[in-house]
Amino acid sequence: MSGKRPSFGVNASDSKSEKEASQTNEKVADKSKSKREFGTHVQKEEPEKGVNAEIVKELFSLQKRDFWLKAYALSFLFYLARWGNLTTGIIGLIDLILFPFVLILLAEGSLMISNFSTLADWINPKMNQLKQGTTNIGAILWYGSKLILFAFIWKFGFILGLVGLALMLRDLKRMKG
């Protein structure tokens, strides 16, 4: 009875069998990692849904809803005026989608040149910046010239809109910290 007896129970330990068990577990884990999984019970790792949607939601929340509605309505009118129908190329659709970001870029530009108040007011997309004492003809000329400017700039929406979008993404990143 003096030989080594196997020990059983909670407090029993056999260092050799523990090492073998841990090595076996490691081998099984390595095999399961390298093994391709298939079947009905395998769950695919999906990318997080909602990350891009959340960024878009936050991006559009940087401006008031009224701005987006007016900007897209104006963009749609320019789209129809430029192309005459709804069947156009990809550039026209990109201009249509990115035009509000062009307006945001213009607003940023007007802040940069605020020393030149008349020019800054003219390129600013806000339509309520008439000076006191402006006549009706002056108001028509003022707003008409702004619309002509915006219609001209709308053609370059695919370039300027991307710059405006990048500006908004930068602002969003700064706001997040």
pLDDT digits (tens, 9 = 90+) for 156-170: 888 999 999 998 888
Q: What is the pTM of this model?
A: 0.62
Of 116, 171, 168, 127, whose CA–CA distance to 150 is shortest?
Answer: 127
Judge whether 88 lies within some domain: yes
Number of domains in the chain: 1
Judge whether 55 lies within some domain: no
Judge whether 4 lies within some domain: no
Judge whether 130 lies within some domain: yes
Task: Return the number of other C-beta atoms located less than 10 Å from residue 49's C-beta.
Answer: 8
Chain segment 41-86, per-residue pLDDT in tens:
555 555 555 567 888 888 888 888 988 998 899 899 888 887 666 6
Judge whether 65 lies within some domain: yes
Rounded alpha-carbon distances, angstroms, from residue 107 to 52, 61, 110, 119: 26, 17, 5, 12
Range of the domain at 111: 61-176
Judge whether 20 lies within some domain: no
Judge whether 12 lies within some domain: no
